[in-house]
Structure 1
Amino acid sequence: MDIQRVVKKENPEANFKDISNVSGARWKTLTAEEKKPYEENYQAEKEAYLQLKAKEKRESEAMKLLEEDHKQKTAMELLEPYLQKEKDPLKPKQPMSAFFLFSNERRAALLAENKNILEVTKIAGEEWKAITEEQKRPYEEMAKKNKEKYMQEMEAYKQKRRKKP
């Protein structure tokens, strides 16, 4: 017997508060034996709910672990070519850009002024932006010559690698 349904049937015009008050009053009058089926039903439903919530929590945690594992695998797959790749000591090194040639020249002077590496980099970048094209030209020409030399060295390097058995 559902007490609230019985009260609602007996008092169709009653609102929720009134039904709850009457149901509560009737509940208090029931004996332990009369309450037992309700309490057993409550315990069974509570246990089913707790099991469902535990299952949902396990599934959620498993999905989080799976996502983290997938992210880790993806990161490792992206890094793998760089981690496994051995550098060929005979391969020519790429030449520095005009900016890096300029920065290297300025670095010593800026470090002598007790600037840290971040300040040196920032100042060199600002100075590079501020100098004229005429002032940049020697660095750009040096970078161009270095790149041409690098391209020749790379071509010779590639030829040697093709000839190896």
Structure 2
Amino acid sequence: MGRSKDTKKPKGRMGAYAFFVQARRKTYGDSSVKKLVFADFSKECAALWKNMDVNDKKPYQDSADKDKIRYDKEMANYKPSKGDKKKGKKRKKKDPNAPKRNLSAFFLYSNDERAAVRAQHADWNVGMVAKKLSEQWKVLDPQRKAKYDRGAVKDKERYMKAMEAYKAKLAQKKKESSSSSSSSSSSSSSSSSDSDSD
């Protein structure tokens, strides 16, 4: 079930390209000859915008700048309604003492090769690097892949052992805390019974 939309929230700001597309859409609307097909329209707009001169883009940029000022002013005065607070699922806090998860063969390969890919493509973002690593992994020769598969098996064994030890430690702590709380409650009850007998 979706949350109700805050109707008082300011309308999002538009960029120069969005103003350009809006203007193009109006010209399409006036023309009864051309029927608007979204995919074709989008491609056409993108191509026109890409080849457009800076001076031709200026009116759209000016509109975007004005819209940014409008948006910033409205956001400064905007107070979210009480029901509009973001309600997300609270994530369980991760225990810093918990063992580090085991890595898959692909992740072990990525750790080895990431620096080389980054060196070749310094301008790439994380997603592009990950995509390249994935492509390389798919065509990696089976012998090299087997090395990482063995590494992954070894790392899983490490994780399982560490997890067993971690769970045993948690159980021990729980046991100690419950026994100390029960002994403190029994000592307080015995001291109260001693005072009653006086």
User: Taking structure 1 as the reference length, what is the TM-score of the superposition?
Assistant: 0.51
Give 1:135 deviation, angstroms. 1.7
Instruction: Find the aligned partners of 1:86 and 1:118 in 2 and give their Cα distance.
Output: 26
1:148 equivalent in structure 2: 157
Instruction: Find the aligned partners of 2:134 and 2:143 in 1 and give their Cα distance.
Output: 17
- Structure number with greater CO (CA < 8 Å, separation at least 6) is 2
Give 1:120 deviation, angstroms. 1.3
State the superposition RMSD in angstroms.
2.5
Larger Rg over CA atoms: 1
Compared CA separation, residues 68 and 98, structure 1 to 2 (3 A): same
> Counterparts of 1:7-26 in structure 2 under 5 Å?
none
Amino acid at match of 1:153: A
> Counterparts of 1:9-158 in structure 2 under 5 Å?
67-69=2-4, 76=87, 79-80=89-90, 82=91, 85-115=92-122, 116=124, 117-158=126-167
Instruction: Find the aligned partners of 1:105 and 1:113 in 2 and give their Cα distance.
Output: 14
Structure 1 ranges of 4+ moved more than 3 A? none
Instruction: Find the aligned partners of 2:2 and 2:156 in 1 and give their Cα distance.
Output: 44
Instruction: Find the aligned partners of 1:67 and 1:118 in 2 and give their Cα distance.
Output: 30
Compared CA separation, residues 95 and 67, structure 1 to 2 (3 A): closer
Is there any run of 5+ residues in structure 2 with no aligned partner, and where? 6-82, 178-198
Instruction: Find the aligned partners of 2:109 and 2:158 in 1 and give their Cα distance.
Output: 19
Instruction: Find the aligned partners of 2:87 and 2:164 in 1 and give their Cα distance.
Output: 32
Give 1:105 deviation, angstroms. 1.1
Compared CA separation, residues 163 and 69, structure 1 to 2 (3 A): farther
Give 1:69 deviation, angstroms. 4.4
Is there any run of 5+ residues in structure 1 with no aligned partner, and where? 1-65
Instruction: Find the aligned partners of 1:67 and 1:109 in 2 and give their Cα distance.
Output: 45
Amino acid at match of 1:68: R
Aligned length: 94
The SS at the match of 1:76 is: coil
Amino acid at match of 2:130: T
The SS at the match of 2:152 is: helix
> More helix by proportion, 1 or 2?
1
Give 1:67 deviation, angstroms. 4.6
The SS at the match of 2:87 is: helix
How many percent of aligned residue pairs carry the same amino acid? 39
The SS at the match of 2:161 is: helix
1:41 equivalent in structure 2: none
Instruction: Find the aligned partners of 2:110 and 2:157 in 1 and give their Cα distance.
Output: 21
Instruction: Find the aligned partners of 1:76 and 1:93 in 2 and give their Cα distance.
Output: 29
Amino acid at match of 2:87: M
Equivalent residue in structure 2 for 1:162, among 156, 165, 171 = 171
